[in-house]
Structure 1
Amino acid sequence: MPVAVLPLSMEAFNHISFLWLNAPADTPAWQLAAAAVLANGLIYLVPLWLTGLWLIGGGARRAAVSAVAAVAVALLVNAGIGQAFFHPRPFMVHFGTNFLPHAPDSSLPSDHTTIMLVTALVLLRAAEPLPRRSGRALLLLTLPTAWARIFLGVHWPLDIVAALLVAVSACLLVGSTPGRRLCGTLQTALEAIYRAVLARPIARGWLRP
């Protein structure tokens, strides 16, 4: 697997900005615990948010399906980048201080940041106000997640920049005419499964069809 070699100026920026954001060795335990919640916990709001939008139905459901599709596309791109250009995480090259156990896989781009960003961006493009408000809130929550993953030593700053580029690209792809058609087909298939599996609560009016 080839190892990604960034230009010297970019690598210098990566190192300098990482050291500025990375937690020092004497960071209090409560700060590390709070950062760990931000780094690993906020991402679980994404499936909860999307499930809620799905259950609301209508345009909110369309936005949720588009977000799921965009996340899938973005993660496939991330996996391809990681396989083609392996870039070690800071702790793998003994740089800075690491406080968050993590597999020694490629750092570039950040999957956590990608998932939250692409979901937020897709929801921001929705026609209905509720998904757009959800997108704005999620976008704000992405910032502390990205910061915390650098603070705890598992990502470089440029991993976050790469995540932004992938997220924007996936959002634009899903928002294109072919992307919207595919999302419509996906929604039809998912709704058929949803209505078959949850036919009884739907019939009783507990869930929207």
Structure 2
Amino acid sequence: MSIDRLNLYFFNILNAPDQASSFMMHYAIFIAHDLIYVMLLIFAVLWLRGDYQIKKQILKAFIFTCITLSISEMASAFFNTPRPFVMDVGRTLIEHSATGSFPSNHMAIFSSIAFAYYFSEQRQIGKFLIILAWLVAWSRVYVGVHFPVDMIGAFLLAFAVNASGQSLWNKYKEQLMAWVMAVYQKLLHPLIEKGLIK
């Protein structure tokens, strides 16, 4: 069986069936579309209220995710593979522009954050976030905006970026953190002084 046929086979298994319950559809839509905003809010709060080590880990995740997402965007434009709804395949539960499907930007973001934690002292958090990334992968296929291969590609890309960049991060993390904290403290000094943020 070719990769394309295997990809379509697993898409048909994972995509929302005609008899899907309202609960499952709303659950998948939340994971596929809204969970990323919840994650951003959590990381914003952790940055503003967390200590130095928490901030450093968030900075690492931010940098590696930006790199991964940039590569993902370029790959998506280069390959320009059609999404399922463009091919009139399966059910589509959310609206999405007909941009390139491979690799998935959502999966690239969640996977890169996960690997940033996995390749650190906080490996247990990384393991949990990897599971969360695959939950997002399932949901994006379930709602009909991606194929399974889009998720695998994004996951492998995030792994490659994090694994290859780890030594550079270890070498320059303290300098990067010092610069970022200097800017942060200068911009938000009044709020830090009042103890509203750290």
TM score, norm. by length of structure 1: 0.85
Give a deviation string over 1:57-89, Cα, whole Å, max 9, x none.
Answer: 222221111100011000111011112111100
| Cα pair 2:73 2:105 within 8 Å, conserved | no
For 1:7-46, what aligned pairs fall within 5 Å after superposition?
9-46=2-39
The answer to whether the aligner puts 1:72 opposite 2:66 as a matched pair is yes
For 1:189-200, what aligned pairs fall within 5 Å after superposition?
189-200=179-190
| Cα pair 2:108 2:157 within 8 Å, conserved | yes
| Cα pair 1:98 1:153 within 8 Å, conserved | yes
Give a deviation string over 1:127-177, Cα, whole Å, max 9, x none.
Answer: 2xxx44432332222222111111111110000100111110121233123
User: Quick one: distance in 2 between partners of 1:94 and 1:9?
Assistant: 20
TM-aligned CA deviation for residue 108 of structure 1 = 0.6
- Identity of paired residues, percent? 26
| Cα pair 1:46 1:116 within 8 Å, conserved | no
In structure 2, stretches of 5+ residues that fail to align are none
User: Quick one: distance in 1 between partners of 2:134 and 2:164?
Assistant: 23
SS at match of 1:93: coil
SS at match of 1:92: coil
The answer to whether the aligner puts 1:136 opposite 2:130 as a matched pair is no
Q: Which residue of 1 aligns with 2:197?
A: 207
1:176–1:71 CA distance, 2 compared to 1 (3 A):
same
| Cα pair 1:69 1:174 within 8 Å, conserved | no
The answer to whether the aligner puts 1:60 opposite 2:54 as a matched pair is yes
1:49–1:172 CA distance, 2 compared to 1 (3 A):
farther
Residue from 148, 158, 164 that aligns with 2:155: 164
TM-aligned CA deviation for residue 110 of structure 1 = 0.9
Letter in 2 for 1:163: A
Q: Which residue of 2 aligns with 1:153?
A: 144
Q: Which residue of 2 aligns with 1:5?
A: none
Matched length: 197
In structure 1, stretches of 5+ residues that fail to align are 1-7
TM score, norm. by length of structure 2: 0.89
CA RMSD of aligned residues (A): 2.0
The answer to whether the aligner puts 1:95 opposite 2:89 as a matched pair is yes
User: Quick one: distance in 2 between partners of 1:170 and 1:61?
Assistant: 20
| Cα pair 1:46 1:119 within 8 Å, conserved | no
SS at match of 1:90: coil
The answer to whether the aligner puts 1:187 opposite 2:177 as a matched pair is yes
Q: Which residue of 2 aligns with 1:118?
A: 112
SS at match of 2:86: helix
